[in-house]
Amino acid sequence: MSLLAYCYYMSQDFSNAARVYEQLVKYYPEIHDYKLYLAESHYKNGDLEEALKVSQTIQDPEYRQRLIQLQALIKYSQEEIQHAKALLRQGNLNIYSGSQDDADIIVNEGCILYKEGKYEEARVKFSEAMNTLGYNCELAYNIALCHFKMKQLAPSLSHIAEIIEKGVREHPELGVGSYAPEIEVKSVGNSQTLKETALIEAFNLKAAIEYTIKNFASAK
């Protein structure tokens, strides 16, 4: 049953993942991993209050960091930005060891800074996370978006071009051309691939930049 829940989760069917993890928690209440995955499934399915409620039932200190991250994400999604910041501070998250969890923390901090309009500080955080994780299209998109918000169109376009080039080269099954004005992605069960490549977001931001440049040119 745990394999079924995992498969649902990885295929982004979070509703069914939550349903199966609920059964696992009922049968094995002593296994905190199931509770954590249940909370994460609820969060990714948009059931924020239920996600928070489940996360608060885990008292094991070994899960503290991951719970703080999850609860901060929930509060961020609920537009409770100050509460999210307080949670991150609560975890003494200023000391990093270069792990995946640390990178997630840095990304969370970057998201909060972006939400506060501190685009340069957010860009630095996303770049720092990418230095830890290696190249990541979602992070590259976040960096491009920060540049766009700061009206730094050239570096934004540079990151977008890299995202598109990488997505087209590594995932030809998506049927996307490098210069497609509109992106129509083939249905190949690729929702996770699309998320990882950030192609849709990249094309949308590219269109926004081109529109901005056109307006600048016409205003001269």
Domain boundary among 78, 110, 126: 78
Q: Is residue 137 part of a domain?
A: no
pLDDT at 110: 92
Per residue of the chain (220 residues), give pLDDT as tens. Answer: 889 998 999 888 999 999 999 999 999 999 999 999 999 999 999 999 999 999 999 999 999 888 988 999 999 899 898 898 888 877 654 444 445 567 888 888 899 999 999 999 999 999 999 998 899 999 999 999 999 999 999 999 999 999 999 888 877 766 555 444 443 433 334 456 656 678 888 989 999 998 888 866 654 5
Q: Is residue 185 part of a domain?
A: yes
Domain boundary among 26, 49, 78: 78
Q: List the CATH number of the domain containing 6.
A: 1.25.40.10
pTM above 0.85, yes or no: no
Give dist(CA 5, CA 117) in Å, integer.
Answer: 38
Residues of the domain holding 212: 151-220
pLDDT at 1: 85
Asked if 133 contacts 105 with a C-beta cutoff of 8 angstroms, the reply is no
Tokens of 68: 């703080």
Q: Is residue 48 part of a domain?
A: yes
pLDDT at 174: 63
Q: Is residue 56 part of a domain?
A: yes
pLDDT at 209: 92
Q: Is residue 85 part of a domain?
A: no
Tokens of 123: 């860009």
Give dist(CA 212, CA 148) in Å, integer.
Answer: 10
98 phi, psi to nearest 5 deg: 85, 15
Q: By C-alpha distance, which of 136, 128, 204, 133 is closest to 166?
A: 136
pLDDT at 192: 60
Domain boundary among 30, 49, 78: 78
Q: By C-alpha distance, which of 81, 82, 108, 80 is closest to 94?
A: 108
Q: Is residue 104 part of a domain?
A: no
pLDDT at 97: 45
pLDDT at 14: 93
Q: Is residue 130 part of a domain?
A: no
- What is the tally of structural domains in the chain? 2
Q: What is the DSSP string of the chain?
A: -HHHHHHHHHTT-HHHHHHHHHHHHHH-TT-HHHHHHHHHHHHHTT-HHHHHHHHTT---GGGHHHHHHHHHHHHHHTT-HHHHHHHHHHTTTT---S-HHHHHHHHHHHHHHHHTT-HHHHHHHHHHHHHHH---HHHHHHHHHHHHHTT-HHHHHHHHHHHHHHHHHH-GGG---TT-SS-----SS-HHHHHHHTHHHHHHHHHHHHHHHHHHHHH-
Q: Is residue 72 part of a domain?
A: yes
pLDDT at 186: 37
Location of structure tokens 């529109």: 211
pLDDT at 161: 93
